Amino acid sequence: MRRSWVRFWAASITIGVVAAACTRCKRETRSTSAPEPSKSKMSQEVSKAIDDLTQAWIKMHSMSAKVHVKINNAAGKPGETVGGGTYAYAMIDGQPHIRFWMANSYTFQLTETESRITAEAVRHWTDGKFHYKYLHQPELRRVTKMRYDPANVLQIGGPEAFRDVLNGKEVNLIYGEHINGVPMTVFETIPEEGNTKTRNFFDPNTGIRMQIEQLDAAGQATVTITLSEIKVNPELDTDVFQYEVPEGFEFVDETK
Is 84 or 238 the better-scoring residue by pLDDT? 84
Q: What pLDDT is attached to residue 41?
A: 57
- In the structure, what pLDDT confidence band is assigned to residue 194 with cuts at 50, 70 and 90? confident
**Band of the pLDDT at 51, cuts 50, 70, 90?**
very high
Which amino acid is it at 9?
A: W
- What value does the mean pLDDT take over residues 48-56? 95
Task: For residue 45, give the amino acid letter.
Answer: E
Has residue 3 got a pLDDT over 80?
no
Q: Summarize pLDDT for 14-41 with one digit per residue, the tens.
A: 333 333 333 323 333 344 444 554 444 5
Q: Quick check: is 200 in a domain?
A: yes
Range of the domain at 130: 5-238
Report how many helices (DSSP H) and strands (DSSP E) the chain contains, helices first: 3, 14
Residue 226 lies in a domain: yes
Q: Starting at the edge strand that comes first in sequence, how are the strands of the sheet with 221-232 ordered?
A: 170-174, 185-190, 197-202, 209-215, 221-232, 62-71, 79-92, 95-109, 115-126, 130-137, 140-147, 250-253
pTM (2 decimals)? 0.83
User: In this predicted model, what pLDDT tens digit does every residue of 64-84 receive, in sequence order?
Assistant: 999 999 999 998 899 999 999
pLDDT at 20: 35
Q: Give the residue-averaged pLDDT of 158-183.
A: 90
Read off the pLDDT band of 140 (50, 70, 90): very high
**Is the pLDDT reported for residue 122 higher than 90?**
yes
User: How far apart (Å, rounded) are the C-alpha atoms in residues 177 and 166?
Assistant: 20
The number of distinct structural domains making up the chain is 1
Q: Is residue 252 part of a domain?
A: no
Query: For position 190, what pLDDT does the model report?
Result: 92
Residue 243 is assigned to a structural domain of this protein:
no
With cut-offs at 50, 70 and 90, classify the pLDDT of residue 2: very low
Asked if residue 254 is part of any domain, the answer here is no
Q: Is the pLDDT of residue 165 over 50?
A: yes
Give backbone dihedrals phi and psi of 32, rounded to 5 degrees, phi first: -105, 15
In a domain, 246, yes or no: no
Is there a contact between 96 and 22 (Cβ–Cβ < 8 Å)?
yes
In this predicted structure, what is the pLDDT of residue 167?
86
Reply yes or no on whether the pLDDT at 219 is more than 80: yes
* Pick from 72, 137, 79: nearest CA to 108: 79
Averaged pLDDT, 45-55: 95
Q: Is the pLDDT of residue 236 over 70?
A: yes
Check which CATH number belongs to the domain holding 22 and give it.
2.50.20.10
Q: pLDDT exceeding 70 applies to what percent of the chain? A: 84
Instruction: Lowest mean pLDDT of 4-8, 54-58, 193-197, 200-204, name the range.
Output: 4-8
- Residue 251: inside a domain, yes or no? no
DSSP-based three-state secondary structure for 248: coil
- Give residue 151's pLDDT: 87
User: Can you tell me the distance from the alpha carbon of 213 to that of 201, in angstroms, rounded to the nearest whole number?
Assistant: 9
Q: Has residue 255 been placed in a domain?
A: no
> CA-to-CA distance for 133 and 102, rounded, in angstroms?
11
End-to-end CA distance of the chain: 27
